[in-house]
């Protein structure tokens, strides 16, 4: 509520009118990493960290947007959406997505701010794009569905920020359900709500403070390796259009044709798709311990096969494994090369583990991690 109040007050101070308030959450992903762009299943959830937008029509074709957190603003014409190098890229990309659909959008006045840690793998950029798209849709009565808004938000990240991301982050931000995860079919773009009852456990995120920019890392290289694998397999079997269509048996049969690196990348993805569906079933049965074991498997697959981890992430997961009695699951989360680990931890052990991590991580890496306890929240919504 404090965030909503401060963003709203900033808007009223600058623009002298009452705004529409929109709240857009960040997300975690329980399991199913680097699977969304391969048309598999993922298990994300919206969290109670969010971007808040105060927005109104400007009455002309100029957009005046102010970042409450950075204390900086930009002004641009809706007819001059040229991508640059700052956060404004994402907002321009959203507006361009509406224009390409021939929708009647005009200039806006907007103030936004958030409490999603940047660079932590919690999809602050997706929250920014989804919240802004939802707000524009409301203001100009465009009547787009949440799925269309997710596609516009994804387009904004692709075309204006240069990141070939899947649609999971945007989908989770828009469709999230309090107290639940979404078993998202990234081919059909449909989902099943999976209630998450962790009983005596909490979700603890530990931020390595290694800040990553996915567009500047090997994310796109991993995606290209998967696409190369599909091209090779499609030549032999035209029914293969994504790794969703591939079994581990088929991969092993074509190992020589794929080559070592492409084979290993594709094998991780196919196995991760299986883990995700298994994991959803375990959550439905409230088998938190078994689910946690899959999380550990995912982490070491990401680290050793997909090679998107880093020393800091591996260190934190190794510490968690030393205390499996209390930390039933731990893994790196997000695109990789930094960000957070996600830990399912016994409530009674949270403070003890935080102290252990703080001491050992600081001694090893000469920096302090951050800790975030999060709850599962609803998706993008109108605030008050």
pLDDT in tens, 222-280: 989 999 999 999 999 999 999 999 999 999 999 999 999 999 999 999 999 999 999 99
Tell me, yes or no, whether 358 lies in a domain: no
Averaged pLDDT, 154-163: 79
Helix (H, G, I), strand (E, B) or coil at 8: helix
Q: What is the pLDDT of residue 16?
A: 94
Q: What is the pLDDT of residue 47?
A: 98
Averaged pLDDT, 105-128: 91
CB 31 within 8 A of CB 296: no
DSSP 160: I
Beta bridge partners of 345: 202, 327
User: What's the CATH code of the domain at 146?
Assistant: 3.30.230.10
Does the pLDDT value for residue 81 go beyond 70?
yes
Tell me, yes or no, whether 370 lies in a domain: no
- Domain count for the chain, please give it: 1
Nearest to 51 by CA among 169, 137, 173, 153: 173
Does the pLDDT value for residue 214 go beyond 60?
no
Residue 112 lies in domain:
2-196+378-382
Averaged pLDDT, 199-203: 95
Does the pLDDT value for residue 316 go beyond 60?
yes
Tell me, yes or no, whether 65 lies in a domain: yes
Backbone φ, ψ for residue 225 (5° rounding) = -65, -40
Averaged pLDDT, 307-316: 94
Average pLDDT along the chain:
93
Identify the band that residue 1 occupies on the pLDDT scale cut at 50, 70 and 90. confident
Tell me, yes or no, whether 43 lies in a domain: yes
Is 169 a known active-site residue?
Answer: yes
Does the pLDDT value for residue 171 go beyond 50?
yes
Q: Do the bridges between strand 108-114 and strand 20-29 make them parallel or antiparallel, or are there none, so unpaired?
A: unpaired
Lowest mean pLDDT among 68-82, 141-155, 248-262, 280-294: 68-82
Nearest to 170 by CA among 57, 275, 37: 37
Averaged pLDDT, 40-46: 96
Encoded tokens for 233? 């397999």
Averaged pLDDT, 215-221: 69
Tell me, yes or no, whether 312 lies in a domain: no
Tell me, yes or no, whether 364 lies in a domain: no
For residue 53, give the H/E element and its range: strand 44-57
Averaged pLDDT, 22-33: 96
Tell me, yes or no, whether 101 lies in a domain: yes
Handedness of CA 265, 266, 267, 268 (dihedral sign): positive
Catalytic residue among 96, 109, 169, 207: 169
Does the pLDDT value for residue 211 go beyond 80?
no
Q: What is the pLDDT of residue 215?
A: 42
- Report in angstroms the alpha-carbon separations of 75 from 15, 80, 107, 108: 13, 11, 10, 10
Tell me, yes or no, whether 308 lies in a domain: no
For residue 288, the tally of other CB atoms under 10 A from its CB is 18
């Amino acid at each position: 509520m404090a965030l909503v109040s401060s963003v709203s007050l900033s808007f009223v101070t600058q623009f002298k009118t009452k705004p529409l308030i929109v709240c857009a959450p960040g997300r975690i992903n329980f399991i199913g990493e680097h699977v969304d762009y391969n048309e598999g299943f993922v298990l994300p959830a919206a969290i109670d960290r969010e971007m808040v937008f105060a927005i109104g029509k400007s009455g002309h074709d100029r957009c005046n947007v102010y970042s409450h957190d950075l204390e900086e603003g930009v002004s641009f014409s809706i007819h001059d959406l040229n991508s640059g190098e700052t956060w404004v890229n994402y907002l321009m990309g959203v507006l361009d997505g509406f224009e390409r659909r021939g929708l009647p959008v005009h200039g806006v006045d907007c103030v936004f701010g958030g409490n999603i840690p940047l660079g932590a793998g919690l999809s602050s950029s997706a929250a920014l794009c989804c919240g802004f798209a939802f707000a524009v849709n409301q203001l100009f009565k465009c009547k787009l569905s949440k799925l269309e808004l997710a596609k516009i938000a994804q387009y904004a990240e692709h075309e204006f920020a240069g990141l070939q991301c899947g649609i999971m982050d945007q989908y989770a931000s828009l469709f999230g359900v309090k107290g639940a995860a979404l078993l998202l079919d990234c081919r059909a773009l449909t989902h099943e709500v999976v209630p998450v009852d962790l009983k005596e456990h909490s979700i603890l995120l530990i931020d390595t403070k290694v800040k990553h920019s996915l567009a500047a890392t090997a994310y796109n290289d991993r995606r290209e390796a998967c696409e190369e694998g599909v091209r090779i397999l499609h030549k032999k079997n035209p029914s293969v259009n994504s790794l969703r269509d591939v079994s581990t048996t088929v991969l092993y049969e074509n190992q020589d044709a794929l080559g070592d690196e492409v084979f290993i990348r594709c094998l991780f993805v196919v196995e991760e798709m299986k883990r995700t569906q298994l994991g959803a079933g375990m959550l439905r049965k409230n088998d938190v311990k078994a689910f946690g074991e899959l999380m550990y498997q995912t982490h070491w697959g990401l680290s050793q096969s997909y090679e998107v981890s880093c020393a800091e992430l591996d260190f934190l997961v190794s510490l968690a494994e030393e205390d499996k009695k209390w930390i039933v699951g731990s893994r790196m989360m997000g695109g990789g090369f930094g960000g957070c680990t996600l830990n399912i931890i016994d409530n009674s052990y949270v403070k003890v583990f935080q102290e252990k991590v703080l001491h050992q991580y600081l001694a090893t890496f000469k920096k302090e991690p951050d800790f975030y306890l999060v709850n599962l929240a609803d998706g993008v919504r109108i605030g008050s």
